[in-house]
Amino acid sequence: MPKTTSAAMIVPEVWGDMAQAQFLGKVRVAGSSAVVEDSALEGAPGEEIEFPKWGALGDLDTLDEVTPMTPVAMSTSSAKAVIREAGKAVEITDRAKLVSLGDPEAEARRQFGVLAARRVDADLITQAQADETDLGGATPLRFTTEAGATKFGWLSAMVPAISQFGDEWEPDDFAGIYLNSAQYADALADDQFVDAAKLGNGPSAAVSGSIGRIGGVPVFLTNRVTAGRFLLMKRGALGLLYKRRPLVESDRDILARSTVVTTTLHYAVKRLNDSGVCVGTLATE
């Protein structure tokens, strides 16, 4: 007897849920305690911002009973940061929305949020290492490990990094040390490194996103720091000032029967404390 089998039928394809687009690299510096975030620029005119700084006075003078004190002048300096604009746009036809799996507009909005955070994070890391002497600023602390010290570790890299801060070393004052993933294995193999899984829930617990601690300082991985280089940063060493936070807008083109979705943000980044950032470079072979 003839049978009606599936071969004679129109069998629709079965699709699973749409997978969200994945991005390489997490946001590490933006949102951390290394950054002071401010929205004071919102609504204010101008495309540059001046960061004023007080100069430091010298040590107190030794006095005797009859010698009058000699006044010294206070000093100030300033450095500029230019307002940056970044953005992205997509255009989605009505037909694409109607016949495709998933919601392309919702996915675009989700990706915009990720991309904005990644852009700010990358600019903060670049700014942390910038030489700003031409702009009236300065440079961060810098050093290269001794010849042959090609791996990141407590004695090879952290100790000389700590020495750059002189007597101002206090682990609780530091937001973290930021490594390229190429140095991940070096950190794990060091005797002074404590894995995040072993830190528990007490005062020394792992900071969110960190892989552990070394010398009491959280360790973060980010490939926005060049391989063979690392950053040790104090809390509040960097500034992030928004002129306008990320804004997502959409508009209809009724003739083209499509929707344009855009995102823009306006912001400035600055190293607020030149001596609060140490850029370490591992020696080459």
pLDDT (0 to 100) of residue 88: 92
Domain extent for 159: 140-234+274-281
Domain count, the chain: 1
**Tens-digit pLDDT profile for residues 70-113:** 898 888 776 677 888 999 999 989 888 888 777 888 888 888 88
pLDDT (0 to 100) of residue 103: 84
Q: What is the CATH number of the domain that holds 146?
A: 3.30.2320.40
pLDDT (0 to 100) of residue 209: 80
User: Residue 38 contacts by C-beta under 8 Å, 6 or more apart in sequence?
Assistant: 239, 240, 241, 242
Whether 109 is in a domain gets the answer: no
Is the confidence at residue 30, as pLDDT, over 70? yes
Whether 100 is in a domain gets the answer: no
pLDDT (0 to 100) of residue 129: 93
pLDDT (0 to 100) of residue 19: 56
Q: How far is CA 167 from the centre of its chain?
A: 27
Whether 146 is in a domain gets the answer: yes
CA 182/CA 32 separation, integer angstroms: 22
Would the CA dihedral through 164, 173, 40, 246 be positive or negative? Answer: positive
Q: Do 108 and 132 form a contact (C-beta atoms < 8 A)? A: no
**Tens-digit pLDDT profile for residues 147-194:** 888 999 999 999 999 999 988 788 899 999 999 999 999 999 999 998
CA 174/CA 232 separation, integer angstroms: 8
pLDDT (0 to 100) of residue 75: 83
Q: How confident is the model at residue 8 (pLDDT cuts 50, 70, 90)?
A: very low
Is the confidence at residue 21, as pLDDT, over 70? no
CA-wise closest residue to 142 among 275, 28, 285, 269 = 275
Q: Do 82 and 48 form a contact (C-beta atoms < 8 A)? A: yes
pLDDT (0 to 100) of residue 210: 85
Q: How far is CA 143 from CA 232, 233, 281, 284, in A?
A: 11, 14, 6, 13
Q: Hey, what are 69's tokens?
A: 């004190």
pLDDT (0 to 100) of residue 70: 87
CA 171/CA 33 separation, integer angstroms: 13
CA-wise closest residue to 103 among 13, 20, 15, 12 = 20
Whether 243 is in a domain gets the answer: no
CA 24/CA 41 separation, integer angstroms: 31
Is the confidence at residue 13, as pLDDT, over 90? no
pLDDT (0 to 100) of residue 78: 67
Whether 167 is in a domain gets the answer: yes
Residue-averaged pLDDT of the chain: 83
Whether 203 is in a domain gets the answer: yes
Q: Do 119 and 86 form a contact (C-beta atoms < 8 A)? A: yes
pLDDT (0 to 100) of residue 23: 56
Whether 256 is in a domain gets the answer: no
CA 25/CA 33 separation, integer angstroms: 19
User: Residue 203 contacts by C-beta under 8 Å, 6 or more apart in sequence?
Assistant: none
Other beta carbons within 10 Å of 187: 24
Whether 222 is in a domain gets the answer: yes
User: Per mean pLDDT, which range of 66-70, 123-127, 197-201, 219-223 is the poorest?
Assistant: 197-201
Mean pLDDT of 43-63: 75
Q: How confident is the model at residue 41 (pLDDT cuts 50, 70, 90)?
A: low
Q: Tell me the whole-structure pTM to 2 decimals.
A: 0.80
CA 257/CA 272 separation, integer angstroms: 48
